[in-house]
Amino acid sequence: GGFRSGMISDRRGTTVDSPLFLRKAAMLAIVTVRHNLPNSMIEWRGNRSGKLVGQLQALADCFLGFLMDGNAWRRIGRTTMRRDFVGKRVLLTGASSGIGWYVADYLVRAGAFVVVTGRRQERLDQLRQSFGNPQKRLIALSGDVADHQHRLALIATAVDELGGLDILINNAGIGAVGQFEGASPERLRRVFEVDFFAATELTRLALPHLHRGRQPAICLVNSVLGHRGVPNKSEYCAAKFALRGWS
């Protein structure tokens, strides 16, 4: 919901600051991997003075650590082996800023081959240049994930340039703030197009290739607002609830 520094609180009101709760926050608020997660609720509570960059890096680390850790799945009743990213072929949306930027950077440094997308080409260029694009392991394709033709181009690029797909990370998202009554219908539709339909339809296109992938995974970057609605963010909450229900 808000990536600010501070403690983490469970719904009983207990506040802690520990790696265990960070991992639970990553499980519940950051990613859903093909299955619904447990019903317990974790909330971020903190002040506004924290450094956003540090928080985004920490959240990206939690996200990727959970994706890699087979023991985490065993704790919630799933069984899998530990995953590594060496040689993995990844498609990542929303990579021009925030969590997506740091996830992309980590994946390339970990040895993955990554196709990234975002709306700002200059930011994608900066991402690629930030680590020298070793062995051309990052391919950037700017565009709007709400556009069906762009989604087709993303899948085609992954298949043609990487030879297939192992991991899809649906990270792109937008928000909207303000009362629903005075907002336009276009605002609601735009939020759903990016936050829900883009993820579901890109997943639909990716599934035939993921079935042939190595340790395939589908990841959704979600929000605690997909568990609990708040005032003045009704469109965003609705889209995140829909994404959680679909997954």
**Cβ atoms < 10 Å from Cβ of 79:** 7
Q: How far apart are CA 243 and CA 232, in angstroms?
A: 19
Active-site hit among 236, 238, 239, 240: 236
Tokens of 88: 């993995």
Of 51, 32, 57, 50, give the one whose Cα is nearest residue 169. Answer: 32
DSSP 178: S
Q: Residue 87, CB half-sphere, CA atoms under 13 Å: how many?
A: 4
Find the helix or strand (DSSP H, E) in which 89 lies.
strand 89-92
Q: How far apart are CA 71 and CA 196, in angstroms?
A: 29
Tokens of 84: 């590594």
Q: Is residue 144 a contact partner of residue 168, using CB atoms and an 8 Å limit?
A: no
Strand partners, 52: none
- Whether 236 is catalytic is yes
Which stretches within 69-220 are classed as H helix?
70-75, 98-109, 121-130, 148-162, 185-192, 198-210
Quick one: CA dihedral 102, 108, 109, 112, positive or negative?
A: positive
Which residues have a catalytic role annotated? Answer: 236
